[in-house]
Amino acid sequence: MENNFVADPIIIGLDNETYHRGEGYDQYLSSTQIKDFLVSPKYAKYKKEHPEEFVISDDALEFGSMYHAYMESLLNFGNDSEFVKQYHLFEAPVNEKTGKPYGRDTQKYISALEAAKSEHPDWEFVSEERVGLVKTMVTELLENCGETSKQVKTILKQGQSEVSHFVEYEGCKFKFRPDVETKRKIVDWKTVSLENLHPGAIAKTITKFGYGISAAFYQFFEHEQSGVWKDFYWVFQQKTPPYDAVMVSAEQWAYSYNKEYDMVSMGPSALIFKKLLDQYIECKRTGEYRGAEIFIEPGFRGHRIMSVDAPNFNTEFRFYNKNE
């Protein structure tokens, strides 16, 4: 059962754990959670009610969190002081035979890390190699990516990081926390494993991970809260040399505001977001969270039976047995 908790509309400095899972705050739906309705409302409801079953311990996510924390420290404090407070170097035990540190998947490494965590449960331990990679990437982003570096530096001067927003809309609760926001922009950092940052590769990545839906979510609820349609941008940076980066507009994907005509247009991701939003509101209103059958149009007497197109088999297909 949801309680009557109502969060302040804007909170600066709210820690990650409270924002995502704190009592009361966990009743607010995030952009990631609304995308779960793409699988089905039943799946989205189950996942929200059983988050412990969907914990992702992925190296890529862990590294992404470090990268975001470093950028947040630069934005809010002008240096890495807050990053250093949060992340502490972990010195892996050394293999006496090889003279090299044990790998992350070895029992020696895991045991030593568990011991360090038990001694300092509030610390986030990272390897020197990973910290070095984050610093290298940020240096490349700020100094060696041409006009993109200039644009990012301007954002760092104008923007504020990790401000938590809580909005009530149509009787439902929603939350969002941009990586960076200015008076007119919302910016999201994306570290990617892409060989190139060509438009086609970026478009596939936006589609694959539903980044456009999240962008529309942020824009829509920002407008609900402030009355401003903010432009949305991603900064995509490679996680491998040469650590190149590009700034990408979500204009063709999410919401786009034309100031001259005072008009808002919706890209394909905004249209999908609106369907997801309407479906979530309907589920909350009725208390009914259907499974995958919701994607089947009711037929005779309301029956929901899926019709799946068969593959186009070769009509010349034949078996040839002996003596034929």
**Tens-place pLDDT, residues 112-158:** 888 888 888 888 888 888 899 999 999 999 999 999 999 999 999 99
From 143, 158, 186, the end of a domain falls on: 143
Please tell me whether residues 159 and 287 are part of one structural domain: yes
Share of the chain above pLDDT 70, in %: 97
Count of CA atoms in the C-beta half-sphere (13 A) of 69 = 20
Please tell me whether residues 231 and 265 are part of one structural domain: yes
Which residue range forms the structural domain that includes residue 37?
A: 1-51+149-292
Q: How many domains does the chain have?
A: 2
21, 290, 293, 297 from 300: Cα distances, Å: 43, 19, 15, 10
Please tell me whether residues 105 and 237 are part of one structural domain: no
- List the structure tokens of 217: 């979510």
Please tell me whether residues 92 and 158 are part of one structural domain: no
Residue 315 pLDDT exceeds 90: no
Please tell me whether residues 198 and 278 are part of one structural domain: yes
Share of the chain above pLDDT 90, in %: 69
Residue 308 lies in a domain: no
Residue 312 lies in a domain: no
Count of CA atoms in the C-beta half-sphere (13 A) of 280 = 28
Residue 116 lies in a domain: yes
Please list, in sequence order, all residues whose beta carbon lies within 8 angstroms of the beta carbon of residue 113, skipping any fewer than 6 positions away.
90, 125
- List the structure tokens of 83: 């990053």
69, 93, 197, 226 from 135: Cα distances, Å: 12, 24, 21, 35
Q: Tens digits of per-residue pLDDT, 94-117?
A: 888 898 888 878 998 889 888 888
Per the CB < 8 A criterion, the answer to whether 104 and 113 are in contact is no
From 99, 119, 143, the end of a domain falls on: 143
- List the structure tokens of 291: 């499974």
